[in-house]
Amino acid sequence: MVQMQNYLLSLERELRQRNYSPKTLRAYVTCVRYFLEYIGGDISIINREKIIDYVLLLQKQGKAPKTVNLYKEAIKFFVNNIVHISSDGKGQDRGMFDIKLSKAPNKLPSVLSRQEIEQILSVVDNKKHRLLLALSYGSWLRVSEVVHLRVKNFDLESLTIHLQWAKWQKDRITLFSDKLRSDIGQIITFKNGDDYFFESERGGGLTTRTAQIIFASALKRSGIKKEATFHSLRHSFATHLLENGTDIRYIQELLGHANIRTTQIYTKVMKNTLIQIKSPL
């Protein structure tokens, strides 16, 4: 439908001028497209109950709370900023739909021990792949951050990485181990500053999916039975820093967490705290 496509183009244009990240832009447009298809492209029937009906449908389909919340935020943005629909249909309380975000299950992160990290790295024969995993763990990088690293992001002298356009489009500085300085130096010596640090065989950077496959393969070969993912590397190092006594505020800054409560979840999986507690049995 032409009108629906025009709405989506207007949404994309508004998101671009507000400097939303490409990933968020694509996600919002996709969510709104599915919602518009659900209502047959007729924005005149949009109201709070219609949106809740759609949310319930998403939940019935088994969508995760995080995914449902993304739909809610995208639809709310569309209603408030593109079609300007009021919640009562009479122009009052303009654009305000009181739809709360879905509560996510209180699930603790999967954390690997230091020995398990070493075990995973030891089974990776490809030197570049091993460096990718070691750097992700040692510099607490998200998978999207490690695959987008450029040569210019590294400072060998100060052992730092300047992450530009990280999550929420906030730059941050993180560290890397001196043990990796030589391997990193060998890669960046003959490259230009804008070149990808981890290049794919076809040219350009690696995909996040490729990095995830590299981790999954190493985990399987290591024989470790934990339900770990690539993001477990980041969870693990944050936990290990806490166990070493690093101030949680520093960890929050290094991880790039906007809220300290996000960082505090690692206090619940600290092994040395649990070890100090004796069972009364």
DSSP helix/strand/coil, 175:
strand
Spatial CA neighbour of 222 closest among 123, 118, 135:
123
Q: Are 168 and 19 in contact (CB under 8 A)?
A: no
Whether the domain at 2-83 and the domain at 114-274 fall into the same CATH topology: no
Which of these CATH numbers, 1.10.443.10, 3.40.50.720, 3.40.1280.10, 2.60.40.10, describes 114-274?
1.10.443.10
114, with CB counted inside 10 A (0-12, 13-18, 19+), is middle
Question: Of the given ranges (4-8, 26-30, 143-147, 256-260), which has the lowest mean pLDDT?
Answer: 256-260
| pLDDT tens, position by position, 217-231 | 999 999 999 989 999
Q: Sketch the domain layout of the chain as residue ranges.
A: 2-83, 114-274
Q: Is 167 a catalytic residue?
A: yes
Question: Of the given ranges (134-138, 171-175, 259-263), which has the lowest mean pLDDT?
Answer: 259-263
Question: Of the given ranges (26-30, 174-178, 226-230, 276-280), which has the lowest mean pLDDT?
Answer: 276-280
Q: Is 142 a catalytic residue?
A: yes
Sort strands 160-163 and 172-175 into parallel, antiparallel or unpaired.
antiparallel
Convert 85-105 to b/e letters by CB count within 10 Å (16 or more is b).
bbbeeeeeeeeebeeeebeee
The overall pTM is greater than 0.75: no
Which residues make Cβ contacts (< 8 Å) with residue 222, sequence separation at least 6? 116, 119, 120, 122, 123
pLDDT at residue 86 greater than cutoff 90: no
Active-site residue, selected from the candidate residues 48, 114, 167, 191: 167
Cα 59 to Cα 192: distance, rounded to the nearest angstrom? 47
Q: Is 257 a catalytic residue?
A: yes
Considering the domain delimited by 2-83, tell me its CATH architecture.
Orthogonal Bundle (1.10)
Q: Is 172 a catalytic residue?
A: no
Q: Are 102 and 72 in contact (CB under 8 A)?
A: yes
Active-site residue, selected from the candidate residues 72, 142, 148, 150: 142
